[in-house]
Structure 1
Amino acid sequence: ALGIVPKFQKFGVDSVLYYEIGERGAKMGTLTGEASWVLEDNEMMKRGLTTTMNAKIYKTYRLYEKSI
Protein backbone atom coordinates (compact mmCIF):
# COMPACT_ATOMS: atom_id res chain seq x y z
CA ALA A 1 0.00 0.00 0.00
CA LEU A 2 1.11 3.51 -0.69
CA GLY A 3 -0.06 6.65 0.98
CA ILE A 4 1.04 10.10 2.04
CA VAL A 5 0.73 11.05 5.70
CA PRO A 6 -2.16 13.55 5.90
CA LYS A 7 -0.02 16.45 7.17
CA PHE A 8 2.17 16.14 4.04
CA GLN A 9 -0.68 15.86 1.54
CA LYS A 10 -1.24 18.66 -0.99
CA PHE A 11 2.47 19.62 -0.99
CA GLY A 12 3.42 17.70 -4.14
CA VAL A 13 5.13 14.85 -2.28
CA ASP A 14 3.21 12.36 -4.42
CA SER A 15 4.40 14.00 -7.64
CA VAL A 16 8.03 13.82 -6.51
CA LEU A 17 7.58 10.18 -5.58
CA TYR A 18 5.97 9.32 -8.93
CA TYR A 19 8.69 11.21 -10.80
CA GLU A 20 11.47 9.38 -8.96
CA ILE A 21 9.82 6.01 -9.55
CA GLY A 22 9.58 6.81 -13.27
CA GLU A 23 13.16 8.06 -13.56
CA ARG A 24 14.71 5.19 -11.64
CA GLY A 25 12.58 2.63 -13.44
CA ALA A 26 13.55 4.05 -16.84
CA LYS A 27 17.25 3.81 -15.94
CA MET A 28 16.68 0.12 -15.22
CA GLY A 29 14.80 -0.38 -18.50
CA THR A 30 11.34 -0.46 -16.95
CA LEU A 31 8.93 1.63 -19.00
CA THR A 32 5.59 0.45 -17.63
CA GLY A 33 4.14 -0.38 -14.26
CA GLU A 34 0.93 -0.83 -12.35
CA ALA A 35 -0.43 1.01 -9.32
CA SER A 36 -3.09 -1.41 -8.24
CA TRP A 37 -5.44 -1.06 -5.30
CA VAL A 38 -5.86 2.69 -5.58
CA LEU A 39 -9.21 3.34 -3.96
CA GLU A 40 -11.87 4.38 -6.44
CA ASP A 41 -12.65 7.52 -4.42
CA ASN A 42 -9.00 8.55 -3.89
CA GLU A 43 -9.19 11.46 -6.31
CA MET A 44 -5.91 13.04 -5.20
CA MET A 45 -3.87 9.92 -5.91
CA LYS A 46 -5.66 9.21 -9.18
CA ARG A 47 -5.11 12.81 -10.32
CA GLY A 48 -1.42 12.61 -9.42
CA LEU A 49 -0.93 9.38 -11.31
CA THR A 50 -2.77 10.52 -14.42
CA THR A 51 -1.07 13.93 -14.59
CA THR A 52 2.47 13.28 -13.31
CA MET A 53 2.91 9.77 -14.67
CA ASN A 54 0.57 10.11 -17.65
CA ALA A 55 -1.09 6.94 -16.35
CA LYS A 56 -4.34 5.54 -17.68
CA ILE A 57 -6.94 4.07 -15.38
CA TYR A 58 -7.83 0.79 -17.03
CA LYS A 59 -9.04 -1.31 -14.12
CA THR A 60 -11.31 -0.64 -11.14
CA TYR A 61 -11.30 -2.71 -7.98
CA ARG A 62 -14.39 -2.68 -5.80
CA LEU A 63 -15.32 -4.32 -2.54
CA TYR A 64 -18.92 -5.17 -1.81
CA GLU A 65 -20.53 -6.14 1.44
CA LYS A 66 -23.70 -8.08 2.00
CA SER A 67 -25.16 -9.56 5.15
CA ILE A 68 -25.83 -13.27 4.90
Structure 2
Amino acid sequence: MNPNKLKEIRRKNSVTQNMLANLLNVSQKTISCWENRMVIPKPYYMQKMEDYFQVPKEEIFYTLYYQKS
Protein backbone atom coordinates (compact mmCIF):
# COMPACT_ATOMS: atom_id res chain seq x y z
CA MET A 1 0.00 0.00 0.00
CA ASN A 2 1.08 3.49 -0.64
CA PRO A 3 1.51 4.54 3.00
CA ASN A 4 -1.03 7.27 2.46
CA LYS A 5 -3.56 5.32 0.36
CA LEU A 6 -6.06 4.88 3.18
CA LYS A 7 -5.64 8.52 4.13
CA GLU A 8 -6.02 9.54 0.49
CA ILE A 9 -9.26 7.58 0.08
CA ARG A 10 -10.59 8.81 3.40
CA ARG A 11 -9.91 12.45 2.55
CA LYS A 12 -11.25 12.09 -1.00
CA ASN A 13 -14.53 11.04 0.61
CA SER A 14 -14.42 13.88 3.16
CA VAL A 15 -14.18 11.44 6.05
CA THR A 16 -12.18 12.36 9.14
CA GLN A 17 -10.24 9.86 11.21
CA ASN A 18 -12.85 10.29 13.95
CA MET A 19 -15.72 9.63 11.56
CA LEU A 20 -14.08 6.45 10.27
CA ALA A 21 -13.23 5.38 13.81
CA ASN A 22 -16.87 5.79 14.85
CA LEU A 23 -18.07 3.88 11.80
CA LEU A 24 -15.74 0.97 12.58
CA ASN A 25 -16.11 1.20 16.35
CA VAL A 26 -12.37 1.68 16.90
CA SER A 27 -10.34 4.56 18.28
CA GLN A 28 -9.02 7.47 16.24
CA LYS A 29 -5.55 6.31 17.28
CA THR A 30 -6.20 2.95 15.59
CA ILE A 31 -7.02 4.72 12.32
CA SER A 32 -3.84 6.75 12.65
CA CYS A 33 -1.81 3.57 13.22
CA TRP A 34 -3.33 2.00 10.10
CA GLU A 35 -2.58 5.08 8.03
CA ASN A 36 0.99 5.21 9.29
CA ARG A 37 1.47 1.47 8.75
CA MET A 38 2.23 0.81 12.40
CA VAL A 39 -0.51 -1.83 12.52
CA ILE A 40 -2.21 -3.87 9.80
CA PRO A 41 -6.02 -3.81 10.04
CA LYS A 42 -7.74 -7.13 10.60
CA PRO A 43 -9.57 -8.53 7.56
CA TYR A 44 -12.91 -7.67 9.19
CA TYR A 45 -12.01 -3.96 9.17
CA MET A 46 -10.56 -4.14 5.67
CA GLN A 47 -13.88 -5.51 4.44
CA LYS A 48 -15.84 -2.81 6.28
CA MET A 49 -13.69 -0.11 4.65
CA GLU A 50 -14.09 -1.73 1.23
CA ASP A 51 -17.86 -1.72 1.69
CA TYR A 52 -17.95 1.85 2.95
CA PHE A 53 -15.58 3.45 0.43
CA GLN A 54 -16.54 1.16 -2.49
CA VAL A 55 -12.85 0.59 -3.20
CA PRO A 56 -11.45 -2.95 -3.33
CA LYS A 57 -9.50 -3.73 -0.18
CA GLU A 58 -6.68 -5.05 -2.36
CA GLU A 59 -6.29 -1.57 -3.82
CA ILE A 60 -6.02 -0.06 -0.37
CA PHE A 61 -3.98 -2.73 1.38
CA TYR A 62 -2.26 -4.89 -1.27
CA THR A 63 1.33 -3.71 -0.90
CA LEU A 64 0.94 -3.36 2.84
CA TYR A 65 1.03 -7.14 3.10
CA TYR A 66 4.12 -7.46 0.96
CA GLN A 67 6.06 -4.54 2.41
CA LYS A 68 5.48 -5.62 6.03
CA SER A 69 6.38 -9.30 5.38
TM superposition score normalised by structure 2: 0.32
Bigger share in helix: 2
The structure whose Rg is larger is: 1
TM superposition score normalised by structure 1: 0.32
Which one scores higher on RCO, CA 8 angstroms, separation ≥ 6?
A: 2
